[in-house]
Structure 1
Amino acid sequence: MSRKENKKQNLIYIVGAGLAGTSIADEIQKKGILGKAVAFLDDDPKKIGKKINGLPVLGPIDEVANLIRINPADEALISIPTIKIERLREIYEVLKQSGFSTIKLLPALSQIVEGSAHLVQTREINPEDLLGRNPIAISLKKTLAYLKGKRVLITGAGGSIGSELSRQLFTGGAERVYLLGHGENSIYQINKELRILQEAGVGENAIIVPIIGDLTDRDYVRYIIKQLRCDIVFHAAAYKHVPLMEANPVAAISNNVFGTKNLLDACFEFNVKRFVLISTDKAVEPVCVYGVSKFLSEQLVLATAEKIKKEKPKGLDYMFVRFGNVLGSRGSIFPLWVEQVKNGGPVTVTDKKMSRYFMTITEACSLVLQTGGLGKNACSYLLDMGEPVSIYETAKQLIKYLGYEPEKEIEIKIIGLRKGERLEEPLWSKSEMPEKTDYSKILKLNKIENIKNTFSITGLNKLLNELYPICYLTQNEQLFRNKTKLLRILKKEFPDLKSDIK
């Protein structure tokens, strides 16, 4: 008997006997080394009791799962891309109580193109999958048609948003996908992941080009945009951790504001057709340095868009898309909470009254890509985030998900607001009014009054001229990296800024 045959295989039970589930089962059987698919679990009475591709269909799921004799190595794989979040929670609990220690999930419909599904796309289920809302179903193939044959640049491609944009955009038929970032490890990881997906048959044969570079280097940015001849830019690169940016305000302005300006100027000069800035609710009437940096980034996009109207022929569309928190993004609260629970607590919450808008990374990126295709020059867009969620109640749900009783087994500790935080984050300012578009979950922001003169194009340039010698070395050396001076300048323009100024 061969070593392969002698080795005991783990058994895989596939939840969902639809198109996605049967595709996954076929792949498992063909490869033969990843485990053995032994049965489907399904609720459809027309399928229960029959065989599909040689595998029995057992069900209903809630009744049959606890009858299965499970070994420690056995897995359950939920392959129902259209599943509602409420049903996903129910199935997860049933599988967990039945003894499955490994429960994997095929991603939401937005990541599956025309019903195709691949084993490489599956991953272990995590808290964000169970605590989110029902994502809108988007046909990626139709949505990404505008990318066909185009050269697309994603900045911050190694980050949470940038990497997810890369995965989804990968299926759009782009000619080239440029992955730009200044962290070599994160760019290495997303480059490797996309190539594995490509080898497994996911997406189309785009040329993947990893690029390491710094957006604060103006000469480099101009050079790289000229060389790449890209058609579309998704600008996701930013420092975003609020307390860290409060401690490092010069880095926040240098990277987020001047990095964006350098990129916009180069894209304008070399006629990049579409530019989409990824923005945040913290840019609305900002109270933290990060929020100020993203507000200024939004204004830079709009200023460049106005310049396009005057100096360029039609066909260039520069816009921004704003949204709230995304579940599970790097540096977000969920990974921290999971780590705190694993260490026995306490789980830290800033305030019982704090609330936030949440959306999954998958859904946010699908909507950003859709907006990138339909958006018009000088327009501002907002993703419909639904209702705000209590942070305290969400922490309790996560503790329960991890198998503990909140406040009894795992303490929840209230630590108070950190620098730059507020209890609620508005999605639009007093001078903006959201308006529905023809596309579900995508809103257009209309101005209902003029922006104060400080942020006219002239006023914006004046402010940047004041900030420049703090971020870049000039003849006025005493200003270079002068944190106090920078905060005073920002405080003058943004009175609500909560940063400590000596």
Structure 2
Amino acid sequence: MNKIEGRLYIIGAGFAGQMIASDIAKKKVFGTVSAFLDDDKNLIGTKIDGIPVLGPLDSIADALRVDSSDQAIIAIPTAPVERIRKIYDALKKCGFTQIKILPSISQIIDEKAHIIQARDINPLDILGRTPVTIPLAKSLAYLKGKRVLITGAGGSIGSELARQLLSGGAERLYLFGHGENSIVNIYRELHLLQDEGIGQKASVVPIIGDMKDREYVKYIISHTHADVIFHCAAYKHVPMMEENSIAAIENNVFGTKNLLDAALEAGTEKFVLISTDKAVEPVSVYGASKLLCEKLVIQAAESASKNQSFMFVRFGNVLGSRGSILPIFMEQIQNGGPVTVTDPKMERYFMTIPEACSLVLQTGGVGANGASYLLDMGEPIKIVELAKQVITFSGFTPDKEIKIQFIGARKGERLEEPLWLKEEKPEMTEYKKILKLTNIPLKNFSLDKLLKSLEPICALTQGKEQLYRNSNELKSILRKAIPSLDKFYMDQEQLSGEKDREQNYKAVL
């Protein structure tokens, strides 16, 4: 957080607000706190460490004179979304243009809040439902003294797992990734958080590498002696992977197999795969790749020793991840619109990144070998409604100041994404928001035989050179193995043929 030029107001005079004020006073680089803003009648009109408490928030606009350099920090980590939304509206009425917020209570470890944790408020904080609260210090006890490796540590999910893992008491935290810039960014951020007293003093080790390199992966897993692996790395942009189908299988499927084989051999205690709803009756190469990853994890569990646990956690969309819909909407709004939505009927299940990661970390501790888990995502949200809310959050009127344009579904997209198959019969566990799935045996193909048929397409193989990088052959193999993918492609081909015939008919006329 940069130095504050104007006046600073802290919303919430409770423990978090007071700790933020104390932190600011000690550092003497962020400016000074002008006042606390609160609704507590017992506090309004008093002073805390010399700082006046003003309120209530609903009528504060009549008393404050705010200019563009003033900032507000919402320091109520226990507040539900509904209250944050009301506070945000009240602050906007006051004239605040710079509004920051502390993370949720699950991220405020041991009741210690720090100014460095404050970030700009965004639509995630006022949209959707209130995330489930998970006390990280307790749920991460299983990681104390362990060596933890995160693949894709520079990505949205991987980097948030890394931030939360600082609170787990791990001996060492390995940040594995292919992208140099993203790894160095999270590496520096973790060190900065530790320097500010956030989390515990785990050694943080960056590792640049490619999980497609089988020998290198084997070397890394054996030499790091990783006790726990959270496998987040994947190519995941659906339309992009339709155009680069071989890369999707090569990276996601064979990369995952390399990690699993290395973890089995090295005696890794826990392996947690991050999966997606797109693996359910997949209609894209990306979805098919994640389905195969799920099956690979279950297969690995069958070979695991009694001291090992291999599992996957499946969930839907996460709000705010790189390349996801929310950042795209925000960028489109900043450019004056239009905001593009595929179809008025399209809907998705959403969860915030911190909530998803907290649940993943909890599942890693309580999950059993060979078990499959699903995060409870609540009710689906219409994408067009999300677009309208984001436009409103940004201070504009939907379809007037910022237009919404429907552009049609792209390759590999469907209007609804199911979270499970009927046969998987999700059951409640004793842990809130974590469901257990019934594992479904493979019906249409042998996993080992399928991988063997895909391998010469992804890796140059003597005597099968003609198959190398043959995307048509790859899709043909996947379509034979996965009926939902074949049906979707057939429907798309039929629709495309009808459009071509219609265009030809019009041209003749």
Moved over 6 A (4+): none
Contact 1:44 / 1:60 at 8 angstroms: preserved in 2? yes
Equivalents in 2 of 1:84, 1:320: separation in Å? 29
Picking from 349, 367, 373, the partner of 2:365 is 373
Unaligned runs of 5+ in 1: 1-6
Matches within 5 A, 1:232-247: 232-247=228-243
Which residue, 400, 407, 424 being the options, matches 1:408?
A: 400
Structure 1 residues 490 and 8, CA gap change in structure 2 (3 angstroms): closer
**Do the aligned partners of 1:352 and 1:414 also contact (CA within 8 Å) in 2?**
yes
Would the aligned equivalents of 2:444 and 2:481 in 1 still touch at CA under 8 Å?
Answer: no
Paired letter, 1:481: R
Q: What is the correspondence of 1:7-22 to structure 2 with a 5 Å cutoff?
A: 9-22=5-18
Q: CA deviation at 1:318?
A: 0.6
CA contact 1:132–1:327 (8 Å) conserved in 2: no
* 1:463 match: 450
Secondary structure of the residue aligned to 1:315 is coil
Q: CA deviation at 1:112?
A: 1.2
Matches of 1:464 and 1:65, distance apart in 2: 64
Which residue of 405, 411, 420 maps to 1:419?
411
* 2:350 equivalent in structure 1: 358
> Do the aligned residues in 2 keep the contact of 1:471 with 1:480 (CA within 8 Å)?
yes
Q: Write the distance in 2 (CA, Å) between the matches of 1:228 and 1:95.
A: 49
Indicate which of 144, 160, 164 corresponds to 1:164.
Answer: 160
Deviations 1:175-231 (A, max 9, x none): 000000000000000001000001011000000000000000000000000100010
Displacement after TM superposition at 1:132 (Å): 2.8
Is the Cα contact below 8 Å between 2:242 and 2:284 reproduced in 1? yes
**TM-score scaled by length of structure 1:** 0.95
Structure 1 residue 9 displacement after superposition: 4.0
Q: Number of residue pairs matched? A: 487
1:206-217 to 2 correspondences below 5 Å: 206-217=202-213
Q: What's the counterpart of residue 98 of structure 2?
A: 102
Q: Are residues 193 and 399 of structure 1, via their aligned partners in 2, closer, same or farther at CA, if it must alter by over 3 Å?
A: same
The match for 1:83 is 79
Counterpart of 2:111 in 1: which secondary structure? coil
Give, as a single letter, the amino acid of the residue that structure 1 aligns with 2:168: G
Identity %: 62
Match of 2:273 among 267, 271, 277: 277
Q: For 1:452, which of 411, 420, 443 is the aligned residue?
A: 443
TM-score, structure 2 normalization = 0.94
Q: Which residue of 2 aligns with 1:495?
A: 483
Mapping 1:207-356, distance limit 5 Å? 207-308=203-304, 312=305, 314-356=306-348
Cα pair distance change 1:8/1:166, threshold 3 Å: closer
Question: What residue in structure 2 maps to residue 394 of structure 1?
Answer: 386
Counterpart-to-counterpart distance in 1, 2:267 and 2:4? 59
Out of 62-71 and 466-475, give the one that drifted further: 62-71
Q: Is 399-408 or 205-214 further displaced after alignment?
A: 399-408
CA distance in 1, matches of 2:91, 2:4: 22
Checking the alignment, whether the CA contact within 8 Å between 2:4 and 2:71 is kept in structure 1 is no
Task: Give the secondary structure class of the aligned counterpart of 2:327.
Answer: helix
Which of 439, 461, 479 in structure 2 is aligned with 1:474? 461
Map Cα deviations across residues 401-436 of structure 1 (whole Å, 9 max, x no partner). 111111111111111111000010000013201000
- Cα distance in 1 for partners of 2:347, 2:274 equals 22
Query: By how many angstroms is 1:8 displaced?
Result: 9.0
* DSSP 3-state at the match of 1:157: coil
Q: Does the CA contact (< 8 Å) of 2:4 and 2:30 recur in 1? A: no
The residue that corresponds to 2:503 in the other structure is none
- Alignment match, 1:3: none
- Unmatched 5+ residue regions in structure 2? 497-509
What letter is aligned with 2:397?
Answer: E
Conserved? CA contact 1:431–1:451, under 8 Å: no
The answer to whether residue 375 in structure 2 is matched with residue 383 in structure 1 is yes
Question: Hey, what does 1:4 align to over in structure 2?
Answer: none
What secondary structure sits across from 1:321 in the alignment? strand
Q: Which amino acid aligns with 2:416?
A: E
Report whether the alignment pairs 1:430 with 2:426: no
Distance 1:261 1:75, change over 3 A: same
Separation in structure 1 between the aligned mates of residue 259 and residue 237 of structure 2, nearest angstrom: 22
Distance (whole Å) between structure 1 residues aligned to residue 415 and residue 444 of structure 2: 29
Equivalent-residue separation in structure 1 for 2:435 and 2:401 (angstroms): 42
- Using the alignment, how far apart are the partners of 1:246 and 1:60 within structure 2? 54
Greater displacement, 478-487 / 274-283: 478-487
Q: In 2, Cα distance between the equivalents of 1:96 and 1:108?
A: 21
Quick check: 2:60–2:94 contact (8 Å CA) kept in 1?
no
Distance 1:196 1:66, change over 3 A: farther
The whole-number CA distance in structure 2 between the counterparts of 1:50 and 1:144 is 39
